Homo-oligomer: A and B are copies of this chain.
Amino acid sequence: MDQGRGAVQPDPRHDDRDDAEGAFIAAYDPRDYDPIAVTVDVVALTIRDGSLHVLLVQRGRPPFEGRWALPGGFVHSVRDEEDLPDAAVRELSEETSLRLSGEPEGSSEAGRAAAPAALARVHLEQLGTYGAPGRDPRMRVISVAYLAFAPELPDPEAGTDANEAEWVPVGSLGLPDAPGAGQRPGTTRRLAFDHARILADGLERARSKLEYTPLATAFCAPEFTIPELRAVYEAVWDEELHAGNFHRKVLSVPGFVESTGATTERGGRRGGPRPRLYRAGDARLLHPALLRPGREDEIR
């Protein structure tokens, strides 16, 4: 352990430390720690046209100029000290025209954080940190990846450092374990850095989270129908679900959804009765969980 070495910029906001802080300032040696660039990258997912999309930006600068990448960038620490989830929200709005007002609420700092904004209620949680030497050709960069679930949002506009920003169907990316994997690999848009791995990890996290949390509602409007919720599960899991059993199951899980008493104005575009409207309930975990069907093989 060498967190005990050196002192620079003692932070006046820190109010839970021992005294005798001044003593070790003299012992500070900058070579004792290695400065490393820290970035955040965001896997932002949404449902469009019934399939799962991820927000990608086309890089406007080297390295990987012209290649597509996850939105992200360096964490600010000198000019303004920002928290990691704040940096993720900032990058998400900087890179695109998406405005995500409202501050993230986080119980556990490394855990989930939700941004219940006026316009967009986006769920944000930490995905993992990627720091292998060589993952950035320029220098040692450690990237803290965040995962965002968003309801359907407008088309993004490119940010300052990106040529373009776009919602891209994840099935078109030819990822190893992606829901829509298995199509012509020639069409594959190869992502910059190790972003294909980060995206794959984010997708697996999203699929898993839908099993035991009510986060599928984060992909929906504030009021939604059970069939809309089912479409979210089908898009993320890339599985067709039995409408009747899904309906009964959702209503049987305490706190998953609560009824508004209303129905939609119109039935489905190809017929059918008008479905009822629901809001997200107060459950934080689904009990019992909604398990993905047919995973007996992926277990070994």
A interface residues with partner B (beta carbon < 8 Å)? 1-11, 13-14, 17-18, 20-21, 23-24, 27-28, 32-39, 57, 59-67, 69, 71-79, 81-84, 91, 94-95, 108-111, 126-142, 144-145, 159, 161-162, 193-194, 197-198, 200-201, 254-255, 282-285, 287, 295-296, 298-300
Contact of A108 among B35, B136, B201 (CB under 8 A): B201
Residues of B within 8 A of A128 (CB): 108-111, 126, 128-129
Cβ contacts A to B, 14 pairs, < 8 Å = A1-B71, A1-B91, A3-B72, A4-B61, A4-B63, A11-B134, A11-B136, A14-B134, A17-B137, A18-B65, A34-B74, A126-B129, A283-B300, A285-B299
**A11 to B300, Cβ gap below 8 A?**
no
Tell me the nearest residue of chain B to A63, going by C-beta.
B17
Residues of B within 8 A of A10 (CB): 137-138
How many copies of this protein are present in the complex?
2
Residues of B within 8 A of A84 (CB): 129, 131-132, 142
**B137 to A83, Cβ gap below 8 A?**
no
Residues of B within 8 A of A13 (CB): 133-134
Bound Cα distance from A173 to B87, whole angstroms: 33
Contact of A18 among B4, B24, B63, B126 (CB under 8 A): B63
